[in-house]
Structure 1
């Protein structure tokens, strides 16, 4: 009985080492890397767009004589800064 149990354990362990799907996992990792870097580029482009649109709107309000533009400057700056940090955070989380 004891030898039968040892034999069964040996069969189970030999089957566990021969897992299929190594190439599929490598392909999935490669797809994740390529999609992630395009998402990182998209985050940086959105940050640049936020910065440009914010600068134009703040300049327009400043020229029109609006007395309080400090809040708008901070809002547009931190929106752009958040998008840049979101890309860096995703890069750190996924380890890519």
Structure 2
């Protein structure tokens, strides 16, 4: 076996060798819950912002179809409006589901 393979193996052992400590599973779950609750407000605001952008894009698309005389303008408007409502409902349901 060439010397550089042995050296590489020894370097790998030194880098990856670290001491691990056993931790309580409940403590990890509680810390994760605290972190998720901390980021939830930011995530909800992000969902509302995405809904607002989708609403604006949808309004432009529907306006273009309406001016073009397309027959499926109502269906497209309902689809865009439904996607915005879905984002708001998901944010509300998640808030009540997690008790925040």
| Aligned residue-pair number | 77
Match of 2:62 in 1: 58
Report how far residue 68 of structure 1 moved. Answer: 2.1
Q: Does residue 84 of structure 2 align to residue 80 of structure 1? A: yes
Q: What TM-score does the superposition give when structure 2 sets the normalisation length?
A: 0.65
Q: SS at the partner of 1:83?
A: helix
* Unaligned residue ranges in structure 1 (runs of 5+): 1-19
Match of 2:96 in 1: 92
Aligned-partner Cα distance in 2 for 1:40–1:51: 16
Aligned-partner Cα distance in 2 for 1:82–1:21: 35
- CA RMSD in angstroms comes to 2.1
Match of 1:6 in 2: none
Report how far residue 67 of structure 1 moved. Answer: 2.1
2:47 to 43, 47, 51: 43
Aligned-partner Cα distance in 2 for 1:72–1:33: 36
* Unaligned residue ranges in structure 2 (runs of 5+): 1-23
Aligned-partner Cα distance in 2 for 1:64–1:22: 60
- Using CA pairs under 8 Å that are at least 6 residues apart, name the structure with larger relative contact order, 1 or 2: 1
